[in-house]
Amino acid sequence: MCGIVGYSGFRQASSVLIAGLKRLEYRGYDSSGISVLNTQGLVTFKKTGKIINLQQIVPKDLQGLSGIGHTRWATHGGVTDRNAHPHNDGKNSISIVHNGIIENYISLKEMLKADGVVFKSETDSEVLAHLVAKFYEDDLEKAVKKALTLVKGTYGIICMHRDKPGILVGARNGSPLVLGIGEKEMFLASDVSAVIGYTKQGIYLVDREVIIVDENNYRSTDLGYQELDKKVEHISWELEELEKGGYPHFMLKEIFEQVDSIPRAYSGRIDEDLATAKLGGLNMTNRELLDVERIKIIAAGTSFHAGWVACYLMESMARIPCSIELASELRYRNPIVEKNTLYLALSQSGETADTLYALREIQRKGGRVLGICNVVGSTIARESDGGVYIHSGPEIAVASTKAFTSQITALYLFTLLLARMRSLSWEEGTTFINNLKKLPEMMQSLLETKDQIAALAKKYAHYQDFLFLGRGINYPGALEGALKLKEISYIHAEGFSAAEIKHGPIALINEETPSFFLVPDDGLKSKVISNMKEIKARKGLVIALAVEGDEEVAEIADDVLYVPRTHDFFYPFLMALPQQLFAYYCALELERDVDQPRNLAKSVTVE
């Protein structure tokens, strides 16, 4: 989950590294550091806290045309300057940055201690610097490869040596690494966002790959010395997409961007003549799709909730049994892979470790897995048997918003495709498409209620506990609403099926525990209203998210927010946005760090 960056070229490395780390700060922000090679040797600066703290100790005139940098999400060892990266060997000849976890670091550490190595940090990563130094004999590539043959675990690393100016050695196994190719300069980073603004040409490394770069050239091999033929890919994201664009926070910007990100997810993918979807990246024939008897979705976090929404839709509209699996649990359950079952792996980053390992386990057992990702060239996108990009654009805020609704959009298109092959009529398909295309206008109208939502958040932000409650296809939306609130405001919030309130959670109800109900005007509305009355009978506070003009709900709830009327299937989109804004404004009221909440990171690349 950490961010790493390396540079070799004609610019002053320190400014490039710090700019890159700022782009990567969403991947971890406990501490940061850089090492730069100049006439003094390897010069290293490290500091706890955010990148701005590091900037204050790095001299503005620091010389050096190559270097490496790191922004940390702590795994081994506390948040201290000493535990921050880069890590150097005892002679300050090797400097290394690492993203991932070295599982056998204790045994390696004991071996190195027996050689007289003195460790300065509590991290697993420092072992790598000393290992490379142990094997170094004037060949950095060889030393790195020898060191990595002893390592068990995941890594994305960049290494440099004081006697090899301009040369960087990068390697990956389970943690992402990309090479950015510029004019007389090269960049290595855990994410393309660090290189945007300098180049639009990139190469994505695969597991057990090692890359050797200087300012003009690169050479890629496996852990042996077999050279790999790499494809240079175009980086489609623009620098402007990584800026706040006048918004106070990335999260608010990304909430507002849903008006555009939803149409991007369906643009060019709708066949109105046939009332179906066109998804060319699935790598499946119509016959193979028709033979699918069951869908299983594997995901984590917000992606899990998006997948759960899709499960309701697939069973209702396509009449295919569908279930949702937590990726972290699936891999270790020795899953049964059945014939004609299709798996969908959901991940915004395409690098989520739990989802990636579950994907590999399913494929190892002969299953077919399609990936649904946002980041082009990501590991899940490359290792899937086919899939769909959601085209949400960069999502910088740690709490996911626009990717959630873009994932649902992609899944809805996939469901439409399957449904039209089975029992859904042309008229029903056309109605579905028309409702989908109305969403951006409806989302825009919801954005115009932000002041009302902000006022409601101000009223409720100082309560310590919340329940979020929904039914049917909106039950996962209640879980997502609770997740958003606790992620960025640190208010304890739990999501439940409204029907389950009486099976235990109602014991939590009192005057200090508001309940946030999702109450669309669908077939389950009367049931949800009964649950609201149960809360009110016990003096609980009720906030309702209802359909415009619903006076029945208004008479029961203490406060009501409204969404436009739509088809039952499309309320999950409209219910998501006000909950996102409610969480955002609660966090503002409590003076939280909205974009970088404590203890979290954006791309979860460790188990």
Q: Rounded to an integer, what distance in angstroms lies between the CA atom of residue 554 and that of residue 544?
A: 8
DSSP H or E segment with residue 44? strand 41-48
Parallel, antiparallel, or unpaired for β 94-99 and 87-88?
antiparallel
Nearest to 369 by CA among 392, 400, 394, 335: 335
The catalytic site residues sit at 2, 602
Q: Rounded to an integer, what distance in angstroms lies between the CA atom of residue 453 and that of residue 303?
A: 25
Do the Cβ atoms of 485 and 586 come closer than 8 Å?
A: yes
Q: Rounded to an integer, what distance in angstroms lies between the CA atom of residue 406 and that of residue 302?
A: 12
Q: How is residue 71 written in tokens?
A: 């922004």
Rounded to the nearest 10°, the torsion over CA 526, 528, 533, 538 is 160
Helix, strand, coil percentages (3-state) for the chain, rounded to 5, are 40, 25, 35
**What single string gives the DSSP state of each residue in 62-108?**
---SEEEEEEE--SSS-S-TTTSSPEE-TTS-EEEEEES-BTTHHHH
Cis amide bond preceding 86, omega within 30: yes
Instruction: List strand residue ranges (DSSP E) for 471-571, in order.
Output: 492-497, 515-519, 542-547, 559-563
Q: Rounded to an integer, what distance in angstroms lies between the CA atom of residue 84 and that of residue 87?
A: 8
Question: What's the gap between Cα 273 and its chain centre?
Answer: 35
Parallel, antiparallel, or unpaired for β 386-389 and 492-497?
unpaired
Q: How is residue 20 written in tokens?
A: 């890159």
Beta-bridge mates of residue 159: 96, 169
For the chain, give the longest Cα–Cα distance: 79
Do the Cβ atoms of 365 and 335 come closer than 8 Å?
A: yes
Do the Cβ atoms of 93 and 57 come closer than 8 Å?
A: no
Distances (CA, A) of 272 to 278, 410, 428: 10, 16, 12
Do the Cβ atoms of 10 and 64 come closer than 8 Å?
A: no
Phi then psi for 337, rounded to 5 degrees? -100, 115
Q: Enter the DSSP assignment of 314.
A: I
